[in-house]
Structure 1
Amino acid sequence: MQETRDQSQQCTRRFGSRCAPTVRAWLFVLALVPLGRGVETARAPYPDDALTPIYRAAAEHILNATEDARGNCIVFGAGTGRLAWRLAESQRFRVLGVEENSEAVMAGRKALHAADLYGTQITLQAGTLTNLRYRDYAAAVVVSDAIITDGRCPGSAAEMFRMVRPDGGIALIGQPPNCPKRLPRKHLESWLRDGGLTYQITDDARGIWARVERGPLPGAGEWTHNLADIGNTACSGDTRTSSTVVPLWFGAPGPAVMTDRHWRPQAPLYKNGRLFVAGDDRIICTDAYNGARLWERNVPNSSRIAMMRDAGFLALAPDSLYVAVGARCLKLDVVTGQTMAEFTVPAKDREWGYIATDGNDLFGSAQKVGASYTAARTGRGAVGNQLGRGNDRSVITSTSLFCLDRQTGKLRWTYDGKSAIANAAICA
């Protein structure tokens, strides 16, 4: 352990933060800088030469072809970092370039440092491209600079693909037109076959590109409601169980923005590779496989606590995250965190209590205003701690149940409970 601590202190910055090496691999401690901040374009770190339009075309194609992908991007065979810089300019990615030529790495670092761009969303490291030092699934997107400049496929295709995260991670390997050294298609296909990969190749006016995607892990489960599902089973359905547990990443969001766990807050939700964490009056979305923060947004007065006496305030569908706060339900885009719609409780002088979704249905309950315990209402001091902790809490109840169309908000039905309905007891 002392060796690991010493190495961690000497570790260069990665994705704007530090990474801690272990004997077998490197674990990630990811940046606190949100995506969309940290890259300034006032000064270009590289010369305006014959390669400039080629890199511009390559980056443009990669960004268009990877659509909604965000988070970590690895440039496999990064050269001096020119493609890494172009991709980081989009502010969609934190980019790590890995290159075997240490002189190229130093030259790239120098250029990026001079432009005040290095270390926040772009870093370069020297490494062996047949045996990288990183854990599996480290990136949402993997590309290569070496193919653009040298017309060659670097390292091992299998090692490259090991970095691609499940649930939609993409490796996009190729080059645009007019590169100084043309990549023969047969060489690209041979490299991919040697790696045992299933791929799609396009060879047209945009250049030659191979696309390899990683789907969901077989047997992986999900956790879409506070107690796993609308049945409150507390079971993810994950069949990938093993006696061996290996951490893939650690770090943010950390305790500073979290509701004290002793207050029994909402459980994190997971589906399709995204992890949704309810923080202190905020929602944080991270890449579940490598910890990259994808988005964060404030939702005032949303931090519901005392879950052992109440229902969760989050419900997750494939395309939307539903957040119950006050009398409203916010429908958030899982990719961007933006509000897609806002629904209200179909009852006068009531707040949204229970929340769940299944298919195109959005279920809810109407409860009295101020019924649920929240961190904001409870307070932050010693009195707040006393109120928020422990099991001696009142059971939170509702007066009616209802169902909406989760896309349009149209009311489908309501049920008057006549008396109290315990939020924690509602399930389907």
Structure 2
Amino acid sequence: PPPYSADERSCAAAAEEMLRVVDMDHGVCVVLGCGRGEFVYELARRSNLHVIGVETDTAQLAAARKALLRAGLYGNRATVLQVESLEKTHLTGCWADVVVAARDGLQMEALRLAKPGGVVAQPVSVRAGPGSSNTAPAIDARPADQPFWHISRRPELAGAGVWSHQYGRPDNSAFGGETLAGATGTDELAVQWVGRPGPRAQADRNGRKPGPLATGGRLFVQGLNRIIALNAYNGTILWSLEIPHFERFNVPRDSSNWCADERFVFAAIGGKCWRIDARDGKLSKVYDVVPGERKGWSWDWGYVARPSDGLLLGSAVRAGTSWKIFRGKTGWYDARRGPVTYKICSDNLFALDVETGQRRWVYSSGVILNSTIAASGDRGYFVECCNRKVVGGESRRIGAAELWQDQFLVAVDLATGRRVWQRPLDTADGTVVFDLACGEGKLVLVSSVDAEARYHVYAWDAATGQRAWEVDFSWPKDDEGKPIDNHGRHMARPAIVAGRVFVRPAVIDLATGRLTKTNMPLGGCGTYALTSRVSIYRNGYVTIWDFEKDRSTQWSRLRPGCWLSTVPACGMVLSPEAGGGCSCGSWLETSLGFIPRSRLVR
């Protein structure tokens, strides 16, 4: 039988109407002033929300727990908590999907608890005032033609960024616009949530797999043959989708296999790209790869990006080219030479209409190095090789010396696919890694050269293709002065923000190419992600480096993956588990979200 009498369940219709108005079935709902728990019960049994009732009165809380336990909801779908004050609870802020302010005077606290973009629901007329024993809203307390609920939303966080692509945005700059409200160290960040996913959903940390994505208040984690979507602000698992053959490793010599926008996740799987609804994980569209011109080959979808409204970018790579091994010595992908350093190359670059799937354009000339494809504004950029031996070769994992001959840096118009400019390229051979990024009006190319144990960095004006500067420097060195050629120290890539280019260990002035006096902390294995003031990277643990003050702080025992697994986005630092299988020590092996402490203050 229901745990409440018919009189006590007068709020049933109110719950029904609120769920209809807010159009939300999953997530966390807080009821400020839950009384005996009637409204908590009605919401929990009518939705998939996890409902948390908050109350000051001990007797009412005891009654609520008893009733919800009898209904089989307590501790699973519903919880009630005691606080000293409803106007100023001890709960963290910026986390609830829906907050019900069931009494007068609770609007400010409700807004503090709500996540950015979250809903605050307040009865237009609350029957019972503060101190009443019956605080459940009753729908018969208003005229039939008057809406029962006043609905408002918490504004999005100012200065919050996105992480929609492997390196922040399609420009590969490793900066997605995040400011972290000015936070520059772990001491200025608080744990917002902790929990799933753990290591079981993941491939081992060593494979240098695609990083997480974060857009629209959601965090997307790529596990082994699966995608897991979380609420970025409270860690709730929104959905999980298993996808056979959805895997890619050795990303430093390739491109990622997924990206996201505010509405969808785009996943490259074999010769297709799936468009997956970010809200519920349902497949909404499948796009076919535009095949290359080579006869007798089958094709996989290689590069994928959402550079602008209406466009989906892709590339065609010979089927079976991208790496899918993550076990054993091969799956380490840390070598300075040999087959794992060969560059994954595509035979074309194309654009589709994201809504209809109709082909907009195809660019095909030579072979395109996937790690150099970037997009910014209305242009796409990449390095292509037009050497006949390379183009006519049977493999698109290319390590031949001819790859570094007949190269061009190309800019194309994203609306038409036509060349805007093309410049002959003669760089040091990037035999270890070879990466292109765009930021603040410059294109920056980094070539890591095995034979020299050095980085060569080049810059061009993105608008004209005019060479701006070049500089070179050694890989980091050990205490004996020898270049370090392991744990990613020889695999640095360009990151761009605040007039600087970061190529660990160097910090370069973007305008002039001058090496600054500041050096990045060495770190290891992984690459780095930027906010407007800090670099987030792996130095044993997840570490934050304030590049203005040259100050480093870190979270002990929080282990990231071996490429990129901790990203700044949605106003937070998001660190899904990616260190599973690491033999270097004992780690937390859990996912966490951190938020600037300043965000939690009313």
Quickly name the TM-score band, shorter chain normalised.
0.7 to 0.9
Counterpart residue type for residue 198 of structure 2: G
Is contact 2:124–2:150 with CA below 8 Å preserved after alignment? no
Aligned-pair identity in percent equals 33
1:274 to 212, 218, 237: 218
Shift of 1:206: 4.9
The alignment status of 1:169 with 2:125, answered yes or no, reads: no
Shift of 1:287: 1.2
Equivalents in 2 of 1:241, 1:259: separation in Å? 34
Shift of 1:117: 2.0
Is contact 1:397–1:423 with CA below 8 Å preserved after alignment? yes
Which one has the largest radius of gyration? 2
Shift of 1:247: 2.1
2:205 to 244, 261, 271: 261
Structure 1, unpaired ranges of 5+? 1-42, 185-201
Shift of 1:122: 0.8
SS of equivalent to 2:200: helix
The alignment status of 1:80 with 2:36, answered yes or no, reads: yes
1:242 to 183, 190, 207: 183
Shift of 1:238: 1.6
Residue of structure 2 in register with 1:373 after alignment: 323
Is contact 1:175–1:183 with CA below 8 Å preserved after alignment? no
Equivalents in 1 of 2:343, 2:237: separation in Å? 35
Equivalents in 2 of 1:100, 1:183: separation in Å? 14
Residue of structure 2 in register with 1:8 after alignment: none
Equivalents in 1 of 2:45, 2:311: separation in Å? 40
In angstroms, what is the RMSD of aligned CA positions?
Answer: 2.2
Q: Deviations over 1:49-71 (max 9, x none)?
A: 1342x322111111111124631
Residue of structure 2 in register with 1:193 after alignment: none
Scaled by the length of structure 2, the TM-score of the pair is 0.55
The alignment status of 1:331 with 2:275, answered yes or no, reads: yes
The alignment status of 1:142 with 2:99, answered yes or no, reads: yes
Counterpart residue type for residue 241 of structure 1: G
Residue of structure 1 in register with 2:310 after alignment: 360
Scaled by the length of structure 1, the TM-score of the pair is 0.76
Is contact 1:315–1:321 with CA below 8 Å preserved after alignment? yes
Q: Which has the larger displacement, 390-399 or 296-305? A: 390-399
Question: Greater relative contact order: 1 or 2 (C-alpha under 8 angstroms, separation 6 or more)?
Answer: 2
The alignment status of 1:216 with 2:129, answered yes or no, reads: no
Is contact 2:162–2:215 with CA below 8 Å preserved after alignment? yes
Shift of 1:305: 1.7
Counterpart residue type for residue 99 of structure 1: E
In the superposition, relative to structure 1, how do residues 203 and 260 fare at CA in structure 2: closer, same or farther (>3 Å)?
A: farther
Equivalents in 1 of 2:316, 2:228: separation in Å? 26
Residue of structure 2 in register with 1:32 after alignment: none
Higher helix share: 1
SS of equivalent to 1:248: strand
Is contact 1:265–1:307 with CA below 8 Å preserved after alignment? yes
Q: Superposed, which structure 2 residues align to 1:75-154 within 5 Å?
A: 75-128=31-84, 129-144=86-101, 147=102, 152-153=103-104
The alignment status of 1:57 with 2:1, answered yes or no, reads: no
**Segments of 4+ moved more than 6 angstroms:** none
Residue of structure 2 in register with 1:227 after alignment: 167
The alignment status of 1:426 with 2:376, answered yes or no, reads: no
Structure 2, unpaired ranges of 5+? 131-141, 292-296, 376-602
Higher strand share: 2
Residue of structure 2 in register with 1:44 after alignment: 2
Equivalents in 2 of 1:242, 1:352: separation in Å? 39
SS of equivalent to 1:340: strand
Q: Deviations over 1:1-37 (max 9, x none)?
A: xxxxxxxxxxxxxxxxxxxxxxxxxxxxxxxxxxxxx
Is contact 2:97–2:114 with CA below 8 Å preserved after alignment? yes
Shift of 1:207: 4.5
State the number of aligned residues: 348
